[in-house]
Amino acid sequence: MATNITGLNLYSTEGKVVLHVVLPTSDFRIVKLDSTGRFHVFSYSAEFTAPTSSCDLPFPCQSLGVCTAGANDSTCSCPARFVHLESGNCSPANGSLPPSSSSTSSASCGGDSDLATSYIQLGSGIDYFANKFASPATSGNDISACQNLCTGNCTCLGFFYRNSSKSCYLMRNQLGSLFKRNAGETWSSIGYIKTLVSGSSPPNSGGTSKTHLIAILLPTVAAFLLSFVVVTAGIIWWKRSNDPSDDDESTDENDGGSDILIPGLPTRFTYKELEAATNYFRNKIGSGGFGAVYKGELPDRTTVAVKRIECAGLQGRKEFCTEIAIIGNIRHVNLVRLRGFCAQGSRRLLVYEYMNRSSLDRSLFGVGPALEWQERVDIAGGAARGLAYLHAGCDHKIIHCDVKPENILLHDGGQVKISDFGLAKLLSPEQSGLFTTMRGTRGYLAPEWLTNAAISDRTDVYSFGMVLLEIVHGRKNRSGASEEGEEEEEGSGSGGGYFPLVALEGHEEGRYLQLADQRLEGRVREEEVARVVKLALCCLHEEPRLRPSMAVVVGMLEGNMEVWEPKVESLNFLRLYGRGFMEPPAAVGGGGGSERVGGVAALAGGDDTASRTSAVTGHVADGSGSSNS
């Protein structure tokens, strides 16, 4: 069988056409034989082609040729100080080694000590095709730092520096074509091509008298400079030893970590820039285990949330910047974006995008209008997609360890984003050791924290199951008798004020509609509540291997997969948790069975002290404004 421009032909074993089907002309066809034996032929037409201009292609004018777009066609030329070669490429006119030659690459990597790196500046209005599609290697640096980054990189053959954003774009491995920018484009950048020139200098033609004079003066000058350096260092050490805060106050305003060149770092800010953006940290919108969060505004009128990290034992600046480069490169529609940072002296600040509807707990548990059912399902789906990406979608697998409504942020237009992911990586090993027993927030901790079992992505799945139950019920999973008789309203079962146990008993008895938020007033069907409750209970299985992955959770929430039936035998621990919640909590570590009961109370959320220091990545917002990462 074969398809061609005339249609579909079915051939016999002798090569004769036994069936011919005439098909309309098409550039692209897909043939499918389905499970029933039916044969399908689909055709598709082109709906989008990019780029539209030939000057945006990699090699319209060979290597380093300048492409100028015209009305109907484009023209090619060489930049100033470059000449055409027979191959069609452009090469430096001064005879230096062309940037794409093998000699350049080997010498840049230290292969030829007789050659020195130099740069040829390109003319104004010229840019590189790849800069339209690539992220900058660094941002917030001056042009000399950009040049140093290229010089120290064997694969770098040139760079472009954009003045407006202080962004540095590297040209790596192979040089494509350049293009002439349109007159209407307001942004400007300047380009440099790396070349190699002879590093040897001509012999000194001065007489022996000049050499003799230098031999006399050099030791004297060196001794004077050494004395000056020693005295200056002593004065600085004395001042710093008498003023512990001098480290921070004397840090140069341009030192936001600009001396550390790590590809992929987000925008660097100085401490003074963030002071100005937040009006000297006056508009506090939240606080948590790492420090306070402030609302701010950048010079381009962008509203941001600035987290001022105040933990002791932070990593050094280079290690901090390395982790920031990892977190800053994580891009997903359901994850709060890290826009920048400051690592100045002992100060550590993170700049996030601003979410104007605050965190889920305010919309879910607040006094305002109740969230409709479909909006609750959409919020759960967005949060699940964000966690699934952290677990399996990004280069560095990240376990959140503190999934809760306070770390699910909302924005206009139905945007849902997970915040505070990866922040525990910013602590030094000594500081991280404080949380090896428990990390997270009481009420959302998985059983493996209590048993010292291995922590995995299924630990986040358990916490997400607890959040799902709160989304269904519209209240915290743990409710005390002091909350205006809510304990009696939770249900007639033995769960009392511990809603996960109430949900388990409701599942066993088939009473799903009674579990939904009473404020919905019948605006939700029982089968919809049953689907989410069953999924939540599957996430709460005591054995991590029985819990679904977050990718499977997304499929179930979106209706692409059948919801699993919860294994009740793996949920019996909730009955123990429910009793631990209702009983007076025992002190953790008291010995014997009291340790188990106290730990159960902490995991159920009934012990206010057992996990006080465990909220390592979240924050609790006050009523003054929006909560943010």
- Output DSSP code: residue 499: H
- The Cα 334–Cα 326 span in angstroms is 17
Strands 66-69 and 178-180, by their bridges, are: parallel
Tokens of 18: 């036994």
Cα distances (angstroms) measured from residue 168 to each of 129, 189, 264, 328: 15, 10, 11, 16
Please tell me the distance from the alpha carbon of residue 609 to that of residue 246, in angstroms, as a whole number.
Answer: 37
Beta strand extents in 212-265 (DSSP E only): none
Q: Identify the CA nearest to 445 among candidates 435, 432, 431, 434.
A: 435
- Name, in order, each residue with C-beta under 8 angstroms of 581's C-beta and a sequence gap of 6 or more: 478, 496, 497, 498, 601, 604, 605, 606
Residues 6+ apart with CB under 8 A from 287: 293, 619, 620, 621, 622
Question: CA 497 to CA 479: how far, in whole Å?
Answer: 5
Rounded to whole angstroms, the Cα distance separating 18 from 609 reads 81
User: Catalytic residue at 34?
Assistant: no
Query: Known binder of ligand: residue 194?
Result: no
Tokens of 102: 């093998």
Q: Which residue type, as a one-letter code, is found at position 243?
A: D
End-to-end Cα distance, the chain? 59
- Cα 502 to Cα 312, 479, 491, 616, distances in angstroms: 41, 12, 7, 29
Q: Decide if 136 contacts 143 (C-beta within 8 A).
A: no
In angstroms and rounded to an integer, the radius of gyration of the C-alpha atoms of the chain is 32
* Active-site annotation holder among 127, 361, 402, 460: 402
DSSP 617: S
Select from 629, 293, 366 the least CA-distant residue to 519.
366
Check whether the bond before 266 is cis (ω within 30° of 0): no
Provide the annotated binding site.
Answer: 307
Provide the annotated binding site for ATP.
Answer: 307
Catalytic residue numbers read: 402
